[in-house]
Amino acid sequence: MGVSPARQIVYDVLRRVEAEGAYASDVLHESLDARVKPADAALATEIALGVLRWRRLLDCLLERHLKKQVEKLDLPVALALRMGIYQLRFLEKIPARAAVNESVELVKRARKTSAAGLVNAVLHKTAKEASTPADTLLPASLSAVDRLGILHSHPTWMVERWLAHLDKAPTVALLQANNQKPRLTCVLNEPDLRQQVFEELERAGMRIEPGVLLRNAFAVSGGSPSNTRAFGDGEISIHDEASQAVPLLLDVRPGDRVLDLCAAPGGKTVALARVAGSKGTVIAADRHAHRLRAMRAQFGRLKLASVHLVELDAEQPLPFREKFDRILVDAPCSGTGTLARHPEIRWRLRPEQLREFHEMQVRMLTRAIADLAPGGRLVYSTCSIEPEENEEVIAEALREEPSVRRVRADIVAASLRPHLVSGLDAGTLFATDGFFRTSPSVHHTDGFFAAALDRP
């Protein structure tokens, strides 16, 4: 028996995620080209991301029948076991025989033939438990937090801090949302072509759903919009809805001088450039040359010739002679608001890194504030839900730079209001502390934070 194309893709994706530190979404995008059948692409995506989301629970269930931790097994063996048990427990339409046999074949292909018997035996045992509720299979000695972390497949330290910040019900809702398949959301770069674009996507077999936040956003299922003419011609882009909302908070005007300080991959830059127009100046900066090259290619697809790309270190004094009317600091962060989309983050992140991110983000924000013109507005944002990276960064930066102040939430909301779907109250996107926040469990988007500052 051979290995199906879908499962071979999954194995290769998971191997690169574990061995090379790659992101599954990036590797899947590379692997799932036009030569891969749609059904195989869908199955590969489901298994790869499912294994990464549910890794802790899968390992716990596997270790009932192992003499060592899954993480201490050779990587090909660990991956084959996780792939097998995920299919047995979560994919009812997959025959158990196929899930087990192909996992065994994957181990053989990886030249770990000596482990084939182990994989076969363990998966046959877990197959008998596939319909048994997971909570009845966990050790009775587990603490309440460990049990929550295993059942929802998150690190215990992450669950503990969310319980402290959010209380139990919101934490459980967040854990559940992080294990759901996120919406694949696009933005209409040419709103006047809405009907034409939607008809084209539907003819290609895709289903369209309206945005939950923004008028020019829509969700797609049943296919890949990146393979369409509309995408190739720059009429649409793939972009999470909360991320789409962030540049709108800047309230850019035609002719403004705009800086996108941490611009890659460039989706927010596009929104800024379209409003600033030909009379404005938009500078998109990033520390890495290869990311700037990727942005240049994207801007070419979107026919944006007016954006100036600059390679720089945003933690150092900025090299510009003139101040900016609008500055976006979409800072590098832990990404804890994107765990549904990037599940591998939950296994890589360490709690001590949050303080490291905080220090870097404060440096970036204070550098940017120094280049904000009088009367200008700056928006600081992250796709993190951690206080160290969000409100604590704003508080420290304001202590260091008393010449700027927070913009009132109602004023920022007014900038966003014209772009929202009918009936949505802009105020619901701002927490009681006045900061812009979205949540995977509440808004069905990535979890974003944003704060607006101005210089009187």
What is the 3 state secondary structure string of the chain? Answer: CCCCHHHHHHHHHHHHHHHHCCCHHHHHHHHCCCCCCHHHHHHHHHHHHHHHHCHHHHHHHHHHHCCCCHHHCCHHHHHHHHHHHHHHHHCCCCCHHHHHHHHHHHHHHCCCHHHHHHHHHHHHHHHHCCCCCHHHCCCCCCCHHHHHHHHCCCCHHHHHHHHHHHCHHHHHHHHHHHCCCCCEEEEECCHHHHHHHHHHHHHCCCEEEECCCECCEEEEECCCHHHCHHHHCCCEEECCHHHHHHHHCCCCCCCCEEEECCCCCCHHHHHHHHHHCCCCEEEEEECCHHHHHHHHHHHHHCCCCCEEEEECCCCCCCCCCCCEEEEEEECCCCCHHHCCCCCCHHHHCCCHHHHHHHHHHHHHHHHHHHCEEEEEEEEEEECCCCHHHCHHHHHHHHHHCCCCEECCHHHHHHHHHHHECCCCCHHHHECCCCCEECCHHHHCCCCCEEEEEECC
35, pLDDT greater than 90? no
Report whether CATH 2.30.30.40 matches the domain 241-454.
Answer: no
- Proportion of the chain above pLDDT 70, given as a percent: 100
The class (CATH top level) of 5-137 is mainly alpha
Average pLDDT over residues 170-190: 96
Nearest alpha carbon to residue 453 among 324, 355, 357: 324
Task: Write out the two tokens for 393.
Answer: 């960064």
pLDDT band at 2 (very low <50, low <70, confident <90, very high): confident
Q: How far is CA 321 from CA 239, 317, 370, 371, in A?
A: 32, 11, 11, 9
167, pLDDT greater than 70? yes
User: Which tens digits make up the pLDDT trace of 59-81?
Assistant: 999 999 999 999 999 999 999 99
- Proportion of the chain above pLDDT 90, given as a percent: 95
Per-residue confidence (pLDDT) for residue 1, from 0 to 100? 59
Average pLDDT over residues 308-333: 97
- Over the chain, what is the mean pLDDT? 95
Distance in angstroms (rounded) separating the CA atoms of residues 359 and 383:
16
Nearest alpha carbon to residue 336 among 164, 154, 139: 154
Could you tell me the CATH superfamily of domain 184-238? Sun protein; domain 3 (3.30.70.1170)
User: Which tens digits make up the pLDDT trace of 367-418?
Assistant: 999 999 999 999 999 999 999 999 999 999 999 999 999 999 999 999 999 9
Q: What is the pTM of this model?
A: 0.95
Per-residue confidence (pLDDT) for residue 307, from 0 to 100? 95
Average pLDDT over residues 323-330: 98
User: Which tens digits make up the pLDDT trace of 86-131?
Assistant: 999 999 999 999 999 999 999 999 999 999 999 999 999 999 999 9
pLDDT band at 38 (very low <50, low <70, confident <90, very high): confident
Where do the domains of the chain lie?
5-137, 138-179, 184-238, 241-454
Lowest model confidence (mean pLDDT) among 1-10, 178-187, 322-331, 386-395: 1-10
Average pLDDT over residues 279-300: 94
Per-residue confidence (pLDDT) for residue 306, from 0 to 100? 85
Other C-beta atoms within 10 Å of 2: how many? 10
Per-residue confidence (pLDDT) for residue 48, from 0 to 100? 98
pLDDT band at 33 (very low <50, low <70, confident <90, very high): confident
